[in-house]
Amino acid sequence: MNVLDGTGWSLASLTASPWIYAVVSTSILLDVFLPVLPSGILVVTAATASASAVVAGGASGAAAAQGPYAPGLLPLLLCAAAASFLGDLAAYRLARRGEGRIARAAARSRRLATARTRLGDALARGGGPLVVLARFAPAGRSVVAFGAGATGRPARDFLPWSALAATVWAGYGVGLGRLGGHWLGATWLGACVPVLALFLAGSLAALTLRRTAKARSARSRAAGPGVGAGAGAPTPAPAAPAA
């Protein structure tokens, strides 16, 4: 039972329009520049409503087709993945060219500057799987996209990993929403449980990235001052290649 049905603010009512795809896509596109936007929450919420509608359709047959509109899981997945990749590409290009008001504002962000310092060595070496992991961490997507462009990483070293990160992140969000909607229905509880799982993944990703950065820093100090720093990295590069 949805405890907010009486107020009109049901989960289904918030996603009952084809415009939900545009809202989700726009939020994901922009949150590389404004990491405070709740793009992940929107993806999970829309997927929860979609999954619960599928379950209701299977239970009530043709009558469900006359019910409120619900976004499709596959179109939602494609929109989320595409918007995530395109946002990364825009941030990468802005930082690569070193121009634009948005790029300069991001460079002045204390939050992004701190995260970039922690991940600078990984970015200088291409990042690899860390690009995927950073997509789940708070502000990690912004740090990776702007950092890869600012340090002059070739597009072939960054964009394939960005595409993979976008697909994995979108699949995870839609998958969580599907599970929540299937088991708990289009209720606020059905959305909140997957959202909590999304935040948990973000916390674990941030913790892993911090530990990785500390390990790299420790290896750099152990290697001694003779080891040169990677291009654009704020800390000396380790002697061994990044994992």
Tokens, residue 99: 């121009």
The dihedrals phi and psi of 36, each to the nearest 5 degrees, come to -80, -10
Contacts of 54 (CB under 8 A, 6+ apart): 70, 73, 181, 182
| C-alpha count within 13 angstroms, C-beta hemisphere, residue 224 | 1
Q: For residues 169 and 154, is the Cβ–Cβ distance under 8 A?
A: no
The dihedrals phi and psi of 236, each to the nearest 5 degrees, come to -60, 145
Burial 154-187 (b: 16+ CB within 10 A, else e): eeeebbebbbbbbbbbbebbbbbbbbbbeebbbb
Query: Of residues 233 and 31, which shows the higher confidence score?
Result: 31
Tokens 């820093």 correspond to 217
Q: Is pLDDT of 142 > 70?
A: yes
Kindly state the average pLDDT of the residues 128-134.
85
Max Cα distance, the chain (Å): 73
144-185 tens-digit pLDDT: 888 888 777 888 888 999 999 999 999 999 999 888 777 776
53-72 tens-digit pLDDT: 654 444 444 444 444 566 78
- In this structure, of 20-34, 79-93, 149-163, the range with the lowest mean pLDDT score is 149-163
Q: For residues 131 and 162, is the Cβ–Cβ distance under 8 A?
A: yes
- In this structure, of 49-63, 102-116, 184-198, the range with the lowest mean pLDDT score is 49-63
